[in-house]
Structure 1
């Protein structure tokens, strides 16, 4: 039985897992969740009533939370690209950067998205301002942290980059990564050129109208 992934093609956290799967050409069946796919949505809610995706199903086993899913894939369905290093100190760096992108980039961008989804002009303005403040701090730190590196923790593409790709993709839509951050801008460009990431970006193109702040004419 193939692996099954429940999620949505426009979801940043779904991307994170899809990128890991694409990196190793791991076979899987994607079951999109949404109003236009009621059967998939019903199955997903029965399996995971906390209403969060993605959800990975491997036979009788269900795995949730993106970082855990990717670690599970490396253990149960390893491929040529090792997304978490075996060496403990390197693995810790990868896990730290994974959490940084999720907690300090993606979550920061989400304030603006939530404000826009509220339909309230004040909440929209406040959400954008809070996102800009938090993202500027994150961008500044990353500009120094990533200097001299090809990927988030060095020369190897890892779990951290799986997290970085959707985080920086959408964060740049919320609050543009400006000219003062050439290192970070270059890193984002390398991510988007990576075949596994480009595949996720292309799969989400039909849904750009869902972005509540208005999807920019780029990427």
Structure 2
């Protein structure tokens, strides 16, 4: 299998983490070196993209579900029944409510000066803080997003909370969310993703802090 992506890409992290955690054999190809090869396969020009012997799978959540179905390992990324619904729901929360909202500030930083939208950023950060507060009330004092097992929801939480905290600090008033982020970063597969991405921190348009 080949996974196309970039080491600094949030959604690439999301797909890499289960591959590493399960010990699944694969080759990683950075789009910086294999851009033309990737573009010939990518239906939307977005990464990560998985090529499993000619079967092309797009979208990070779908890649993880595909891996569970066709290349199962020791981890259950999406459990059966209502527990699976909870995992899928939290996956959508981290991607859509945390990651996408945080990206409002990133996108604004990349705009030319005449198109900056400080009001839009302010409103986006208000929404992000509200989402943080919701998560603070949902998370336990230990364990993972949806219970005792590291799942798809945690794969989504890793890049979402990692980068969102760079943009809008979670803050000491949310101790459970801060502690959960710290547990995520201590996971061996997550630590590997963070270290692999470290040389590319200059890509972050708002300036990458040194605390992580």
User: TM-score category by the smaller chain?
Assistant: over 0.9
Please name the residue that 1:62 is paired with.
Answer: 56
Unaligned runs of 5+ in 1: none
Provide runs of 4+ in structure 1 moved above 4 Å: none
Q: Which residue of 2 aligns with 1:145?
A: 138
1:49 and 1:157 mapped to 2: Cα distance? 30
2:72 aligned with 1:78: yes
Please state if 1:26 is matched with 2:24: yes
Most deviating of 130-139 and 167-176 = 130-139
Match of 1:163 among 156, 175, 178: 156
SS, match of residue 153 in structure 2: helix
In structure 2, C-alpha distance between the alignment counterparts of 1:19 and 1:147, rounded to whole Å: 22
Paired with 1:76 and 1:183, the residues of 2 have a C-alpha distance of 35
CA distance in 2, matches of 1:218, 1:121: 32
Alpha-carbon offset, residue 49 of structure 1: 4.4
Deviation, structure 1 residue 109: 0.6
Structure-2 change in CA distance of 1:81 and 1:10 (3 Å):
same
Q: Distance in 2 between matches of 1:25 and 1:131?
A: 38
**What TM-score do the two structures reach when normalised by structure 1?**
0.93
2:98 maps to which of 94, 105, 121 = 105
> Which 5+ residue runs of structure 2 have no aligned equivalent?
none
Q: Helix, strand or coil for the counterpart of 1:199?
A: helix
Mean alpha-carbon deviation: is it higher for 119-128 or for 72-81?
119-128
Deviates further, 153-162 or 45-54: 45-54
